[in-house]
Chain A
């Protein structure tokens, strides 16, 4: 899965102290990046190609789709990365789905379907029928779905 690659690549880039992380250009990754941006773990999302973000805006066409990438600029504070870890929760071998009430319990810190609840300062991202969003947004819109990842 493209998303699981993104989780590990982001974590590695943060620990290595990189300024930017290069991830595949697709809908789910773009929505995940938007969720991370709104939660404050990355500072910007840029479209680009293999070598770096676009200096001049270029459209994605059939000829260049294989070289298109997304570039996420990472955040650091006092020499340490803002995101210590990002871990997948729902896996292809074992999917984790939660209803809106279960999501509320999960965000409060209670264990739901053998998944440990969120600790203080921990965030999670959920895939709902209205798209990929953070747990708080899903609860506000009273939506459930599969919990994709948790990060701190």
Chain B
């Protein structure tokens, strides 16, 4: 039953399309039915016309449209002459005439091409193309608001918020005038040195001063790092005196150019634990290898406690398509293209630790070639002059 209806529907659509009907689909169906029932007089006239036409042109093959010379007179006759189930063979003249629908489609396509040309040649889009670095599918660059942005603050009120553009990672202009001290061990501390004290009311000391004291990293470097607190939890220690709560913070630090570290801090309030974790993170910073400074070397699989981690290297312009925590770590590290999954446990602390272990345990192709005694060639670099 349904097959018969579909066949009828399809045949009607085809006929409407061919013979210049602007109506389509259901309206065409209804019109056909109504025309069949409502107008017997027209049928007779058209039948007379058709018979006359067929008499003049050809003999017995009058069901075929090849016998019908003109298109206009045959609109009505063809509808009724052909059965609804059997498809009709149409002559070239009738086939080539464009229906209003086709004309509409053509006009739309022309307008679309005009729009595309307008957009392409507009100065703003040309500017966007020039500014775009690396491969991108679109010229649209939406800012990504991550769930961790509310916790990310500048180190001091004086220093401005960092610009999280991955392609502007390391600003060399900042460090042009930096000269390291001659004797690093006996270097004098910077002027107006105010020692940091945990308990005292020290208004002069800031976060950066605290970090310079505890880690020994110069202030300009610290201000270029990105500190992201990824895990913040309220933990409780049950003693015989009662429940002692504390805040646990895990921050990840990165210079957005291949050096990352993580640190954990636990204290009675958030600010102290955050400071602690930042200091420990800076102390634990290490370099990680990156292929073409944008992605990981090969496919990595790791099981850390209950976290099953999979990282896959991807081509330039792919972006970071992975878990939120993984995304933040890669942004700090300067990894721009990555695909990965976390199966099993997604506990934040364990995920961070698993990711750090995998990134440090990457096997470089040069080492693998050395082990197995093969010659290695980077095709991307030799033939296509890769992104380096």
Q: Which residues of B contact A82 (CB under 8 A)?
A: 371-372
**Interface range for B:** 10 to 19
Contact across chains for A40 and B373 when beta carbons are under 8 A apart: yes
Stretch binding the partner chain, chosen from B99-107, B109-117, B220-228, B361-369: B361-369
Task: Assess whether B374 is interfacial by the CB under 8 Å rule.
Answer: yes
Contact across chains for A77 and B370 when beta carbons are under 8 A apart: yes
Total A-B residue contacts, Cβ distance less than 8 Å: 23
Q: Which residues of B contact A121 (CB under 8 A)?
A: 298, 363, 365, 368
9 chain-A/chain-B pairs, Cβ below 8 angstroms:
A39-B372, A40-B372, A75-B371, A77-B367, A77-B370, A119-B298, A119-B299, A120-B313, A121-B298
Q: Which residues of A contact B297 (CB under 8 A)?
A: 120
- The 8 A CB mask of A110-126 against B (1 = contact, 0 = none) is 00000000011100000
Task: Assess whether A106 is interfacial by the CB under 8 Å rule.
Answer: no
Return the chain B residue nearest A41 by Cβ.
B372
Q: Which residues of B contact A77 (CB under 8 A)?
A: 367, 370-371
Q: Which residues of B contact A119 (CB under 8 A)?
A: 298-299
Interface of A is mostly: loop
Partner of A120, one of B298, B372, B373, B374: B298
- The 8 A CB mask of B37-69 against A (1 = contact, 0 = none) is 000000000000000000000000000000000
Output the least CB separation between B81 and chain A (Å).
53
Q: Which residues of A contact B (CB under 8 A)?
A: 39-41, 75, 77, 82, 119-121
Q: Which residues of A contact B374 (CB under 8 A)?
A: 40
**With A40-B374, A41-B372, A82-B372: A120-B367 Cβ-Cβ less than 8 Å:** no
User: With contacts A40-B371, A40-B373, A120-B365 known, what are 10 further pairs, Cβ within 8 A?
Assistant: A39-B372, A40-B372, A40-B374, A77-B367, A82-B371, A82-B372, A120-B298, A120-B313, A121-B365, A121-B368
Output the least CB separation between A109 and chain B (Å).
9
Return the chain B residue nearest A80 by Cβ.
B371
Q: Which residues of A contact B299 (CB under 8 A)?
A: 119-120
Please report which residues of chain B, range 343-388, place their CB below 8 angstroms from some CB of chain A when the two chains form the complex.
363, 365, 367-368, 370-374
Q: Which residues of A contact B371 (CB under 8 A)?
A: 40, 75, 77, 82
* Cα distance, A74 to B299, chains bound together (Å): 25
